[in-house]
């Protein structure tokens, strides 16, 4: 049975979305402790399923294959009841993924200033979308990617404004504050 918006709120999933470096996995784990619900991280599930790291998948099979696997994993995890699900930064760019997540839960966007995100990820060797860019063009290309995605992130049900110095625990408190009472 799939969960839908008409399902009781405590059975709906909570999806964490945002650009690379937004802290979706860290916040997801903390939220899980607070709400005592299962936690899934779609990148982690993709790595488990393929037996490869995200970088190896991009390198050996290309981005399209990664996106296909990502959509499959999202479709399957969306069948959970009341889970917390951290999505990869690009997942919201696919219409089908959006439809699935909007139907089956609440979407929470961890919104940061792009400069803060870029400083965090610019030297990260485990993120193929970062290291595939020449160092000299990296910031500019990632800024463009963020701009392209921004409007989709903003379609989330709940937007958390994060800022330098905020602790993951404080982000969790804000999410709890904005979630419908029945979910908390
Ligand atoms: C991606 C973000 C990554 C991972 C993959 C592609 C993206 O996840 O899914 O490298 O398109 O932004 P994080 O957002 O967890 O870094």
Dist. CA 93–CA 106, nearest whole Å: 17
- For residue 10, the model assigns a pLDDT of 73
Q: pLDDT tens, 136-157? A: 999 999 999 999 999 999 999 9
Closest ligand 1 atom to 19 CA: 14
Query: CA separation (Å) from 86 to 74, 123, 129?
Result: 10, 22, 18
In degrees, rounded to 5, the angle at the alpha carbon of residue 76 between the alpha carbons of residues 71 and 77 is: 100
The average pLDDT across 102-124 equals: 95
- For residue 182, the model assigns a pLDDT of 65
Kindly write down the DSSP assignment for every residue of 96-145, as one continuous string.
HHHHHHHHHEEEEEEE--HHHHHHHHTT-TT-HHHHTS-GGGHHHHHHHH
Dist. CA 85–CA 74, nearest whole Å: 9
Specify the residue with its C-alpha closest to ligand 1, atom 11.
90
- For residue 1, the model assigns a pLDDT of 46
- For residue 8, the model assigns a pLDDT of 74
The average pLDDT across 110-124 equals: 95
Q: How many angstroms separate the alpha carbon of residue 41 from the centre of ligand 1?
A: 11
Q: pLDDT tens, 40-88? A: 999 999 999 999 999 999 999 999 999 999 999 999 999 999 999 999 9
Q: How many angstroms separate the alpha carbon of residue 181 from the centre of ligand 1?
A: 31
Grade residue 103 by pLDDT with cuts at 50, 70 and 90.
very high
Grade residue 180 by pLDDT with cuts at 50, 70 and 90.
confident
Smallest CA-to-CA distance from 94 within 160, 17, 14 is with 17
Q: How many angstroms separate the alpha carbon of residue 3 from the centre of ligand 1?
A: 25
- 156 DSSP 8-state letter: S
Q: pLDDT tens, 13-26? A: 999 999 999 999 99
List, chain by chain if needed, residues with CB within 6 Å of any ligand 1 atom.
20, 24, 43, 54, 88-90, 127-129
Q: Which two tokens stand for residue 151?
A: 């409007």
């Amino acid at each position: 049975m799939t969960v839908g918006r008409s399902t009781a709120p405590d059975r709906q999933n909570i999806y964490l979305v945002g650009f690379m470096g937004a802290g979706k996995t860290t916040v997801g784990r903390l939220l899980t402790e607070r709400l005592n619900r299962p936690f899934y991280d779609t990148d982690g599930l993709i790595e488990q399923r393929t037996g490869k790291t995200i970088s190896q998948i991009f390198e050996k099979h290309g981005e399209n294959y990664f996106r296909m696997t990502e959509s499959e994993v999202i479709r399957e995890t969306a069948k959970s009841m009341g889970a917390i699900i951290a999505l990869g930064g690009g997942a919201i760019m696919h219409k089908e993924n959006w439809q699935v997540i909007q139907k089956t839960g609440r979407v929470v966007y961890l919104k940061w200033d792009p400069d803060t995100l870029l400083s965090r990820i610019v030297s990260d060797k485990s993120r193929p979308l970062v290291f595939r860019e020449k160092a000299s063009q990296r910031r500019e290309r990632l800024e463009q990617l963020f701009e392209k995605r921004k409007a989709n992130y903003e379609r989330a049900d709940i937007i958390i404004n994060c800022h330098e110095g905020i602790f993951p625990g404080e982000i969790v408190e804000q999410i709890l504050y904005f979630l419908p009472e029945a979910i908390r």
